[in-house]
Amino acid sequence: MTKNAENKIKYLTQCETKALFDAIETTNTSHSTRDLVIFRIAYRCGLRVSEISLLKVQDYNAEKGELYCKRLKGSNNNTLRLDSKTKLLLDKYISENNITSTSQILFTSQKNNPISRQTLDYLMKKYCSLAGIEDKSKYHFHAIKHTTAVHLAESDMDIKELQWWLGHKAVTNTEVYFQFTTKQQDRMYAKLAEKSEMV
């Protein structure tokens, strides 16, 4: 990832992410459950917009609560365990929509096609606006993947774990996310302060 790419990374803060999910959850439309599941899966697994549209029922192991993530752009596929809330919502979505065929696309449009990039970007703009997120440069779906990466880096996940989670082949693609974590910077300054007290 180039320096220019690093400067363009847009992600949601923890508060903005919560506001986004709250906005989706409180919107009462025929697609509310679908939309909430999509956003929660994208956030949990760090999926790109095009990777969401690839998901099939057979990629989901309901018994284990695991999702097989097919990564694009030369990334490594992996299987990730969903958090309990996302699993419950996904099970509800599958049941309510009578999705039975394992080869069936998980998230579809009204025309029964795989949900499109345009639809997901539209939904991101809609829900970011409803959530009151002021920075409109964050109003694109790929910001979810960046948000996942930064939040996991802030959670004390080490770089090799984060590399695996995001499916990065090269660790250099993962390193960029650690510069955004204030927790890591705080620890660095604490170490420096501790050292300065010793001299």
Measured in degrees and rounded to the nearest 5, phi and psi for residue 114 equal: -55, 140
Q: What is the pTM of this model?
A: 0.87
| Under 8 Å between Cβ of 125 and 137 | no
- pLDDT by residue for the chain (199 residues), tens only, comes to 444 444 478 999 999 999 999 999 999 888 899 999 999 999 999 999 999 999 999 999 999 999 999 999 989 999 999 999 999 999 999 999 888 877 799 998 888 889 999 999 999 999 999 999 999 999 999 999 999 999 999 888 889 999 999 999 999 999 889 877 666 667 667 767 776 665 5
Phi/psi at 125 (5° precision): -60, -45
What are the tokens at 181? 């974590």
Report the alpha-carbon distance of residue 173 to residue 175 in Å, rounded.
6
Q: Which two tokens stand for residue 70?
A: 């097919």
Q: Which of 50, 43, 85, 47 is nearest to 65 (CA)?
A: 85
Question: Under a CB-based contact definition with an 8 Å cutoff, are residues 166 and 148 in contact?
Answer: yes
Domain 11-144 listed as CATH 1.10.3720.10? no
